[in-house]
Amino acid sequence: MYTATARSSFPGSNSAASPSTPPAQQQHPQKTGPLPPDPSAPTSKPDSYFVDAKKGEVNELRNLLRTFALEKTLTRKREIIKKVIAYMTLGIDVSRLLPDMLLVIETRDLVIKKMVYLYLCTYASSSEEVAIMCINTLMKDCSNDDPMVRGLALRSLTSLRLKSIIEYVVEPLRKSLEDANAYVRKTAVLGVLKLHDLGHNVDNFLPRMKELLDDGDPAVVYNCIEVLNELNADNGGMEVTRDIMLKLLNRLSTFNEFGLASVLNLLCRYTPADKNETFQIMNLLDPVLRTSNSGSVLAVIKSFLHLTNSMPELRPMVYDRVKPPILTLIAGGGPEQVYVLLKHVKYLCEANPGMFDPEYRQLYVRYNEPTSIKYLKLSILPKLASGDTAVDIITELCEYVSENDVRMAKLAIEAIAKVATERACQGATSTGIGEIVTGKLVELCAVDGGAVSSAAASALKDVLRAHPDSRFSVAPVLGRCLRMGGEEKGKASLVWMIGEFGDIVIEAPYVLEKLVDAWDENEELVKLALLTACVKLFFKRPPEMQGILGRLLTQATNDVSSQDLHDRALLYYRLLKAGPENAEKVVNGGEQTIEPSKGFAEDDEEETIKALREEFNTLSIVYGSRSDHFITEKYRLGTSDAVQNVTDAFANSTVTPTPAPTLAPTPAPAPPTNNDAYADLLGFADTPPSPPNQSTAPPAAPAAPSMNLNKSFAIDGGKFQSMWQSLPEASSSMSAMSKTYTVAEIDSLLTSEGILTMASGEMDAEFKFFLYAQDNDTASTYLLQLVIDKMCEPRVCQLTIKTDTGNKADDVAKLLGGVLGNAGM
């Protein structure tokens, strides 16, 4: 017999009986609802529990789409499609609606068409066979009278990203590049790049793309620049000529901020013909500095720095001109913009010291600024300190020490110390500023035993490294500050100063003795500093430190908590055992003088500053690091097989004169032994391996192909570049080198065979050669690019040969491979 609870578990049951209802009341005549099911009747299937599953969101949308054609009002039709797009935006998978959405693609309403095309571009890849059904409609819309429809259809057609429809995309794209409407042309330009991403060869579109650089619409022009740069990314970007550059610069006022960025980035790859042209370009760029867009202003600054590379005498005027726009943008920009601008200000202060010194007050910290900007300004202010402004900056920084933000207080203390170690301490003002900073830091060391005093102690250590004469005012308080305790880094700094200047700290041995007796209570950083301090103090006050040092070395060598500590203690013990005089020379290292103008060796960033000069107005300035440190090799601009390569080689490599110096004879290779006679299992060697019992004479070199090359042939760099650009590629091969040569040895070996060197050079990971040769028999010219990867073992060679009329490119490759001992070339 079923209870009300049992019946209520079945779909459709309306029973309201309580589980506690007596059986007699369940049979009351007034009871409403269905009768209990017959126990003999078959039970319901489990699927009946999910009868409501058909009423889910996707099924509801499918039902609405099936009634789409019956809707009479346009508003209602739009609402149905909007609901599909809304669900798609929320992350709900509505790809099952693709067949139904294709049924509503035939519409004249532009709003509905946009939404349907958006849906198709999103889900076309999930059902490629179904998506192909919309191709006819898209191609038809590409010929529509309305330019908005033409552009929308073309954008959607190229955004489907289906390789199976490439043949249908090419013709509409070609026609759209000739379209009378600028929006359609711009869409077609971007479509060429999408087609390229699908792996299709777009060389046929390049002539028209170059023509569009003279287009009347600025949006078409700067989009064309970006696409051409992307298509030629492996070659460093699009080719920049004087005609193209001057045309773009003369219409600079018509571009928006995005167009300005594209044109100015292009300008940084252009070298003016003379000084007059440089001045004309700078005059054209000057009005852009008055714009309110920070990206455009920074792009102009980068262009100015590029244009004045060969005229360093103009740099001061450039800096004076660009300084007011930067400060104006900092004063009125948003937090993100201000942060980026301050990063560039920091770089300019490092690259051109003194540039922003007169405006140091404009870079003071404001109470309502975000913490990121406050911290950045604290790192900039010490770079603005000079003999006249250092005192004001130190006073301002001392005010920040009282902030509730502990990190800001620490950064302010570090900035105070940097004022004494930066270029502010040059000349006669050095001693005075050092004393002022030292006095401030000594006061802060005695504030408390917390973060402020520890940061002050760490900063005081750096100041005394740069200004050892200030030690007399610091020595009396070192013991008291150390007894106050504090953080690990601060205590270690105080211990270092006591050991360094222990000859004038009266209580130095006794202060350190207490730390030695409480060895196990100290942190690792303090133990390392204590070990060094005691050894240094031993050389200054041997009678007082002999017993203390002996106990310390015993505890340190038996301490297994730190390998560094254990090894350093053993080093000091063995040095002392070998003789105190020699140990003192090693530990103290003699007297060292630190030049404040150069700073400390660990803070030297001169190489980074030079490297970032070419990456101004990029993320490299924000990160403070070269782009190759945070951009993977896959996404870097390449420089292979391009005329730009040849130009870079002439600029950065050593041009080898012809003829090259004679190479000394190479000693004969050692005979194979039993261990390496059969090592070449894959057959990469030039000659087959000799049996173990064979004669010890070296194997004969393979016969190189016979070619009569003209050893006196010569061409200049300009002709080489033009020929390299115009000639087709005749041969390309890779091989492994069985021997290791230097650049000079390779030059000499090839020159002796008639393969002459135009340019050669050694880079971080490879050797690169640009070579040429002429066949005496046929008068054919051969241009070669040889790249040797020196990071591999064995080294891998990649050879590319171009020729005008010769058919012996393979023979040239074999000749070169035979000279270098390469296999497979």
Share of the chain above pLDDT 70, in %: 81
Query: Tell me, what's the pLDDT at 17?
Result: 39
Angle, CA of 69, 72 and 78, to the nearest 5°: 75
pLDDT tens-digit series, residues 318-336: 999 999 999 999 998 899 9
Q: Do 658 and 757 meet the contact criterion of CB atoms below 8 Å apart?
A: yes
Whole-number Å distance between alpha carbons of 751 and 76: 81
Query: Tell me, what's the pLDDT at 683?
Result: 35
Fill in the amino acid letter for 462.
D
Beta-bridged to residue 292, according to DSSP, are none
Run of H or E residues at 75:
helix 74-89
HEC per residue, 201-254: CCHHHHHHHHHHHHCCCHHHHHHHHHHHHHHCHHHCCCCCCHHHHHHHHHCHHH
Residue ranges of the chain whose pLDDT lies below 70: 1-55, 423-431, 449, 590-600, 602, 637-706, 734, 791-794, 806, 822-825
- Residue 661 is classified by DSSP as P
How would you label 774-790 residue by residue, b for 16+ Cβ within 10 Å and e otherwise?
bbeeeebbbbbbbbbbe
Query: Tell me, what's the pLDDT at 136?
Result: 86
Query: Tell me, what's the pLDDT at 806?
Result: 64
pLDDT tens-digit series, residues 597-655: 456 676 777 888 888 888 999 999 999 998 888 888 777 765 433 334 444 444 444 33
Number of Cβ within a 10 Å radius of residue 445: 29
Q: Do 234 and 633 meet the contact criterion of CB atoms below 8 Å apart?
A: no
| Strand-by-strand arrangement of the 781-789 sheet | 756-762, 766-774, 781-789, 796-803, 729-737, 822-823
Which among 797, 796, 806, 788 has a CA at the least distance from the CA of 730? 806
Lookup: tokens for 707: 């070619």
Whole-number Å distance between alpha carbons of 93 and 71: 25
Contacts of 527 (CB under 8 A, 6+ apart): 519, 556, 559, 562, 565
Query: Tell me, what's the pLDDT at 389?
Result: 87
Whole-number Å distance between alpha carbons of 455 and 481: 12
Whole-number Å distance between alpha carbons of 565 and 560: 8
Query: Tell me, what's the pLDDT at 173?
Result: 93
Q: State the pairing for strand pair 729-737/756-762.
A: unpaired
CA dihedral 668, 673, 675, 676 (to 10 degrees): 40
Lookup: tokens for 359: 């405006």
Which among 335, 344, 316, 337 has a CA at the least distance from the CA of 374? 335
Query: Tell me, what's the pLDDT at 745?
Result: 85
